[in-house]
Structure formats: structure tokens, C-alpha cells
Structure 1
């Protein structure tokens, strides 16, 4: 049990609390104006020690910037592009407000004010808050602060734009308008590959006998340079290719070596950058084919999901094709595409009821 004593300060006195940390180290806390305040503090310390929730105040003196660096260095399981995005959020949004603040000094009200004052989209605010919350959560797990002050903050509601899906006829129009890049458009629209997965695809990854693509790697651009790695969520997979698309892909690959990229950048001969593709041919093809304004290559991935579901593919099959970590993610992202399934359920229930009447 600790002890309480008073010590002189100027013409008066203050109270101090002496106690032992769980490690056995003797420590003290000074500056209490009354014995009652010192007693309450000591009682809380002993209660926390007994409950195993005691946090050494000195461990919370590390600044948010210092702790954010340690947090990011420990993210060994994320892609380089993701780490770069987190670093950008830390530099742009977290450090200017909390950088020199000790993690133990961050208050819930401070985080709420920070969230409310951000001049960016609701989706970006949510992402920025998530990073700060994860940084502070690590401080909780490392017993530097007793609780996460970023929890329970009121966040803006993110309004998701309605997804756009091309019909099979629109895909054909876009592929035709893309001219020499026709096989690429068809591949994205009928397999759902992410751009980075397509750009990393080698001839050896295409099994024409089974009409399958082996998605084993992805390439992204981080700080102006190519970074190679595994597909998102580490989901290596085999993706089916429709026979008609496989035929056009085979013609495109004729004469290429097994270690050649299936699609190469026009100038560099390296991986095809999405920005360069949009500027040189994709955006023009969208206009020529009279597709929805501003259609992006990523929307061809959504189109692939739509076409697969309309063809009768199950949620599990679409999940495997797209490389989602869980089927629940597929349902969350493309719930609007399963409305017909709800109609089928109602029809089946009607039949059950009819037979019971």
C-alpha cells in the first residue's frame, strides 16, 4: 500500500503520494492541493494495480509522431502502397495537430474537434480517423495509455456513389473503340482483375488449355516507382476466362515469351500505368463508345461482377473471381446486384404458402 505525506511549498504545503509500480519500483506523484485529492489518486492507483489495468504515466510521454512512426514500422503485413498512404495521412492530417502531443495528453474532445474541423470528403475523414485510432490503440495495448481517446468519436456519414455497370453490348462498344487495346478491355470486363493485377500478368500466368488466369502478383506505382507484391489481401487465385475472350487474348500474346508481360506500356515497355492508359487511349474510347461520363478502368471490375451475377454465378464464385477475402465483402459491395435473388425468395415462399392452403 502506498503512503501520503505533505511537503512545504512557499508559505503553504502540498501533498504527495508514494507507491510502488507493479514492477516493484518506488515512485511518487506530487502537487496535490488537498489530502482528499491525494487519497483519491492513491485509491485509483491501487485499484488499477489490483485489476491489472495500471498504466505507468511516464510511458505515455512519447509523442504522437514518435508513436506513429513505431506503429507504421510495425505494419509488416501491408502493401508498400498502403504504407505510403498511411504515411501521407500521418504527415498531412495527424502530425500538424497532434505531432508534438504526448499520447497520454490526447483527449477525446481533441479528437472530436480534429475530426469536425477537417476540410476534406467524409470518406477521407473516416480514413484519417481510422489511422489515428489505430495508432492510439497500439498505445493502449502497449500499456502507455489506459484507453483509446479516438473511440466513440462522431464521424461524418459517408455517402457511397451508386455503382455503374456496363452491359455486355456497352463492353463490346468500348472494346472496339479501344482498338489495339481491345483484349485488355475485354479481360478487365470479363474477369474482374484489378488494374495492378492485370499490369503484372505474364504470359506464363495464362493457361489457355484450362482457360484460366493465375493472379499471383500485382504492381502499383508508389512515389513514382513500380512496386511489385502480392495481390490485395494476399489473395492469389485462378480466374476463369470466357472462351471468346481467351481467343482474342491468345492472338494478342502470339510471339511473346513466357516471362513477357501480357500488356506493356507503350513507351517504357514496362508495366502499364493506369494514368498513362487513361490519357493516351482509355478516356477517348469511353467518349467514342458513348459510355457513362468519366467511366474509369476500375468500373470494368464492377461490370465483371455484374455480368457474372446476371449469368447465374453464386456469391462464392464471384468472391473467388474478384479475390475478395470473404463472401460477406462481396455481398456488401455488390448487394444491389442480388435484388433478383430476393424476388426469387418471395416467389418460393409464395409457392410454399400456396401448397399449405
Structure 2
């Protein structure tokens, strides 16, 4: 066994432990922030972590975790099951839970080159697998693992005029209405695609979001919305009028938006109606980016709601976020005017004869 230092791309020093596996092959574990931590791991490897008596390998708990995952939406379930089968079980399935250390898990994440989202998903699966194996929450080695930095992607927002240009650049009435719905009211694509005609209230400007349409292995599958809860969202009057016109004479149980085969509409990918609409809209207004994702229409809806005075709880409800904190975290850049208002309020509060430097008003102690 040996310990050696190496450099990351940013110049940071890390340490690796080289050792021989039971099958005689040489390998190493990397990512130790200090030589002391590497030394501690070296000592563990020398002693050899022994599994508990009659402890089953982690692959034995895969069916239990698959049952847990069945509560997820079909699309999410499919992604997680693939990751479990292709990433987590091949790496950890042969191991006993009591022999896995935090440093091994950290080394796995550091060396595989996963992006932030993939690392987060795979760590979640391993943590749940260990939980299924009976590992206490406090002892779970997946806790406190350093994840890769999140790739920063600027949110793209359209003005209402730009949204109107994009909607007009579609070539069917259905696609035009879909762009307006996503860009003004903010449902997720799957939530909008999963709507039925009966989900449009005849009494007011609301839509019932209660299911989501996802494509799983090239088949459209219906499931619950992302957070598992249904909700009613508000839509502008002109969007309701367009929806009623679009669906007139059709059965109430039929999809609100129809695919070519009469089923639920699939998310546009590649050279699709949406891709064509973006390019045509960009020729009219070059400030409409051709890299605009369909999900950016949801961001646009959040921006339009905030700019028109909607409070954070309304935006949270429309978007289907679990908490207002989640909404604020995702759209903090939209609430800069609130900061300006706070600045004005502070200026008014502290300008009335107060010495801001000392925190005392005139004549007061």
C-alpha cells in the first residue's frame, strides 16, 4: 500500500491510496482532501472491513428499492431504474453494507466524472439501497458526500410580445395554444400534455392538473404530477377561449392536446414543430433565442407572473413547487424589485433624523 498526492485541474491537491485487491489486481481510491484522511483509509484497508454475520450483498435489496421507486412518476421511475441497474448495482451490488465507507463513495463520485444531476441521482439510489439493507441514517456513508459543481445555465425568459411572436410562428392552432398555456400559466410539459378536456373548468379560468404524460421506452405513460399532488391553476381568459375553440365538439375524456394518432401529445424533440417555431420566431425577433427549451416557457410564465405583481405563494402554487422556498431559490433573480422596495423602505426608516453610522437618533441614547 502507498499514499501519493495528485493535482486537480484547478490546482487543488488531493491524495490517493494505492492497494492490492483480493483478486491480485492493483487499484486506488482517490479524492482524499488531506493526507491524514488518506492514512485513515489506508489503515482501514490494512485491517480489512469484515461484514456482519449473515449479511447479504446489496444486490439482494434491489427488489425492495424497486418497490419504493414504483411510487414515483413513470418517467422518473424509468430513469432511476436504469441508473440503479447500469450504475449503482454494478459498482456496489456485490458489497455488504457494513463494509462500505464514505471515502469509497466519495472516490466513486470523483472518479466517474458524473455531472451534478447524475451524481445526485446515483447517490440517492445508493443511500436508499443502504437504507433498505438496514443501515441507520446517521451511519449511512452516502451522507456528506461532496458533489460536482452544478453546471450553470442561464434561465431564458421571454417578454409577452416575444411569447406572442413564438406562438404565432407555430403552424397549427393546437401548438399555438400549447405555447400560450406553458408561457403564461407555467405547468410542466407532462402536466399540460396529460390534460383532458374535462380538466378545463366551465365555470372559471382554471385547469385541473392531476396527471402527467411521460414517454417511457417510446410509449406514453400517465402518472401523477411530479410532487404527487393535484392542483388547480389559473389561466388567462384568452387562453381559455382558445382551448374551448380547440376542443369544441370533442368527448370530455379525450386529451386536451391530441397527437397524430389521437392519443396524448409527446414532448417535442430535435427537428420538431417547436424547433421550427423557434427558428421562424428568431427571424422576426433576433432576441428570441433558438436555444430556448420548452421548459423555458415555464420560466417565462414565472417571470410574467412576478412582473405583473403575483406574490410568491401564487407563483409557488401555479408552478406546483412543494414550498415557497423552492420557488424563491429557483427564481430569486425575478424578485430584485422586492430588494429595491426593501432598500427604499430602509432609506425611509433610517432617514428621519437618525444617524445611520451610530444607530442612534438625535438626542437619544
The answer, yes or no, to whether TM exceeds 0.5 is yes
Stretches of structure 2 that go unaligned for 5 or more consecutive residues are 1-50, 283-287, 355-365
- What is the CA distance between 1:356 and its match in structure 2? 4.7
Equivalent position to 2:264, from 271, 277, 280: 271
In the alignment, the residues of structure 2 paired with residue 296 and residue 236 of structure 1 have an alpha-carbon distance, to the nearest angstrom, of 25
338-347 vs 102-111, which moves further:
102-111
Aligned pairs for 1:195-234 within 5 A: 195-234=189-228
TM-score (norm 2): 0.76
SS at match of 1:256: coil
SS at match of 1:289: helix
Equivalent position to 2:329, from 321, 328, 332: 332
285-294 vs 148-157, which moves further:
148-157
- What is the CA distance between 1:198 and its match in structure 2? 1.0
Aligned to 1:189: 183
TM-score (norm 1): 0.78
Aligned pairs for 1:252-331 within 5 A: 252-266=246-260, 268-275=261-268, 279-290=271-282, 291-331=288-328
Deviations along 1:216-260, one digit per CA (max 9) or x if unpaired, are: 211111122222122111221111111122222222122222122
In the alignment, the residues of structure 2 paired with residue 99 and residue 216 of structure 1 have an alpha-carbon distance, to the nearest angstrom, of 37
CA contact (8 A) 2:65 2:132 kept: yes
Aligned pairs for 1:104-123 within 5 A: 104-123=98-117
Over alpha carbons, which structure has the higher Rg?
Answer: 1
Corresponding pairs, count: 298
Query: Does residue 128 of the first structure (1) align with residue 122 of the second (2)?
Result: yes
Query: Does residue 57 of the first structure (1) align with residue 52 of the second (2)?
Result: yes
Aligned to 1:178: 170
Aligned to 1:66: 60
- What is the CA distance between 1:86 and its match in structure 2? 1.6
In the alignment, the residues of structure 2 paired with residue 336 and residue 231 of structure 1 have an alpha-carbon distance, to the nearest angstrom, of 26
CA contact (8 A) 1:208 1:246 kept: no
Aligned to 1:101: 95
Pair 116,230 (structure 1): closer, same or farther in 2 beyond 3 Å: same
SS at match of 1:179: coil
Deviations along 1:172-219, one digit per CA (max 9) or x if unpaired, are: 110000131211111111111111111111111112431111112111
Stretches of structure 1 that go unaligned for 5 or more consecutive residues are 1-55
RMSD: 2.1
SS at match of 1:87: helix
CA contact (8 A) 1:235 1:324 kept: no
328-337 vs 124-133, which moves further:
124-133
- What is the CA distance between 1:269 and its match in structure 2? 1.3
CA contact (8 A) 2:80 2:121 kept: no
In the alignment, the residues of structure 2 paired with residue 177 and residue 74 of structure 1 have an alpha-carbon distance, to the nearest angstrom, of 44
In the alignment, the residues of structure 2 paired with residue 62 and residue 165 of structure 1 have an alpha-carbon distance, to the nearest angstrom, of 51
Equivalent position to 2:146, from 136, 150, 154: 154
Pair 146,346 (structure 1): closer, same or farther in 2 beyond 3 Å: closer
In the alignment, the residues of structure 2 paired with residue 205 and residue 233 of structure 1 have an alpha-carbon distance, to the nearest angstrom, of 19
